[in-house]
Amino acid sequence: MSGKTRQRILTTALALFNEQGESNVSTNHIADELEISPGNLYYHYRNKDDIIEQLFQRYEERMDAALTVPDGRAVTLEDVWLQLHLVFECIWDYRFLYRDIINILSRNRSLRLRFARILKRGSGNAHAIMKGLNDSGTMRASAAEIEGLATNILVLATFWLNYASIHGEKDEQRAIQQGIVQVMMLVSPFLRDSERLHLHTLSAAYAS
Amino acid sequence: MSGKTRQRILTTALALFNEQGESNVSTNHIADELEISPGNLYYHYRNKDDIIEQLFQRYEERMDAALTVPDGRAVTLEDVWLQLHLVFECIWDYRFLYRDIINILSRNRSLRLRFARILKRGSGNAHAIMKGLNDSGTMRASAAEIEGLATNILVLATFWLNYASIHGEKDEQRAIQQGIVQVMMLVSPFLRDSERLHLHTLSAAYAS
DNA sequence: GTCTATAAATGGATAGAC
DNA sequence: GTCTATCCATTTATAGAC
């Protein structure tokens, strides 16, 4: 059972970080919650940052998996919907990172570079998908408009769950659905009339 | 000179909080920087939260002053531009609040309520200004579109400087200008053709 | 692998002299 | 108003027994 405790530490740390914020959870808290000794925890991980890096690794792999562009076929609005779901679910599951992102990145150069890469990938992804919608005739926007739109999608996706949290929204599914609707509202003005009407119908049902 | 040290503590605390993040600045750090004793600092303020509350008070008054709607005349795009400037400058000057907002609000019920009020006021403000642009014929959007637009403006304005900070943007003026351009891009699709062209010309010059 | 015990450092806060 | 001295609690991290 070599990796058993090691895994339990990660799982419990993630839960506590998400609930109480990374800076409010000490290694002692994590050990307490697991009913193991602090010494035992330090046998498995060098320090708190080591735990955070392992969690970041999982986050990174999951976000990389979520950020894909349909290959060899036209992009549809359903693709956007699905991808936003995957991205928001990932952010939710690792929301402690986003809640304290500037602090966490400011004390760890490696994570800073890796998060910058994720953001860049997210930006490129939003770009490619918007361009795909444009090429398939689903929407119509200039290059400059797609550029600005991709940036706004990225910022909104990155910080929406923080915003929802400040508003006291505790329900994961509701928060995510509202986030998706808001991102869709960014795209909506550029859609063909028929697509836009269809989207508004879907959104109204979805956000209720 | 009764209030002299009291004021210097606020000024120095604000500078340190903005530079290093509120959670990374202890009362000892503030006293050190001012070259006064920790005991002296505690003579002027009950505790660290007391200092934060006083800073929040100043932030609150400034943001309240920035969030106004032109009275008795039509709203123009220049009004939007000016107001975004005032709002972003205010957020910049108190960026420590936004950087750690969830943590700060989670441990202080009073600030939570007061920040919620500011957000609500910001939301109502964005709403009223968009409605004003609509009424003056500068833009054309449905009630649902204005609703979604106002929310997205609020989220973008609230978190843009965090996003810019992650990107390593250290220059206040550049960060703010880019933020304004991005907000304007949210509004752009709803503008009349002539207004939209005018805006794109202005934005291109502004963001350079 | 896990525990107990503990060191070393830091942060918040107060008492009492000046 | 300001300082010195100090206390208490917390956190990170390690040493050494089992």
User: Among B102, B152, B162, whose Cβ lies nearest the Cβ of A185?
Assistant: B152
Measure the CA–CA gap between B97 and A167, rounded to whole angstroms: 16
Looking at residue B208, its pLDDT comes to 67
User: Among A24, A151, A162, whose Cβ lies nearest the Cβ of B182?
Assistant: A151
Q: Which nucleotides of C are covered by protein (CB under 7 A)?
A: 1-6, 10-16
- Residue B35 DSSP symbol: T
Å between CA of B155 and C1' of C13 = 38
Q: At residue A1, does pLDDT exceed 80?
A: no
Q: Which nucleotides of D are covered by protein (CB under 7 A)?
A: 1-6, 10-16
- Per-residue pLDDT, averaged over A66-77, amounts to 95
Q: If we measure between CA atoms, which residue out of A163, A133, A193, A54 comes closest to residue B163?
A: A163
Q: Chain A contacts of B166, Cβ < 8 Å?
A: 101-102, 105, 115-116, 119
Q: Where are the CATH 1.10.10.60 domain residues in chain A?
A: 1-46
pLDDT digits (tens, 9 = 90+) for B79-100: 999 999 999 999 999 999 999 9
Q: If we measure between CA atoms, which residue out of B98, B95, B79, B89 comes closest to residue B184?
A: B79
Q: If we measure between CA atoms, which residue out of A45, A54, A41 comes closest to residue A94?
A: A54
Measure the CA–CA gap between A63 and A177, rounded to whole angstroms: 18
Looking at residue A46, its pLDDT comes to 98
Q: If we measure between CA atoms, which residue out of B8, B106, B112 comes closest to residue B51?
A: B8
Q: Does the distance separating the beta carbons of A103 and B182 come in below 8 Å?
A: no
Is B109 in contact with B32 (CB distance < 8 Å)? no
Residue B15: partners with Cβ closer than 8 Å, 6 or more residues away:
none
Residue A41 CB-density burial (10 A; 0-12 exposed, 13-18 middle, 19+ buried):
buried
Q: Where are the CATH 1.10.357.10 domain residues in chain B?
A: 48-207
Q: If we measure between CA atoms, which residue out of A178, A22, A15, A30 comes closest to residue A99?
A: A22
**Helix, strand, coil abundance in chain B, percent, nearest 5:** 80, 0, 20
Mean pLDDT of chain A: 96
Hey, which CATH number is domain A48-207, 1.10.760.10, 3.40.50.1360, 3.40.50.300, 1.10.357.10?
1.10.357.10
Q: At residue A205, does pLDDT exceed 90?
A: no
Measure the CA–CA gap between A12 and A51, rounded to whole angstroms: 11
Q: Chain A contacts of B157, Cβ < 8 Å?
A: none
Q: How far are the Cα atoms of B84, B122, B158, B185 from residue B66, in angstroms, in the given order?
A: 9, 10, 14, 21
State the residue for tokens 């403006």.
B153
pLDDT digits (tens, 9 = 90+) for A157-174: 999 999 999 999 999 999
Tokens of B4: 């002299």
pTM: 0.97
Residue B108: partners with Cβ closer than 8 Å, 6 or more residues away:
B49, B52, B53
Q: For A1-46, CATH number?
A: 1.10.10.60
Residue A50: partners with Cβ closer than 8 Å, 6 or more residues away:
none
Looking at residue A208, its pLDDT comes to 67
Measure the CA–CA gap between A189 and A194, rounded to whole angstroms: 12
Size of interface A-B (CB pairs under 8 A): 96
- Residue B135 DSSP symbol: H
Nucleotide nearest to A1 (CA to C1'): C1
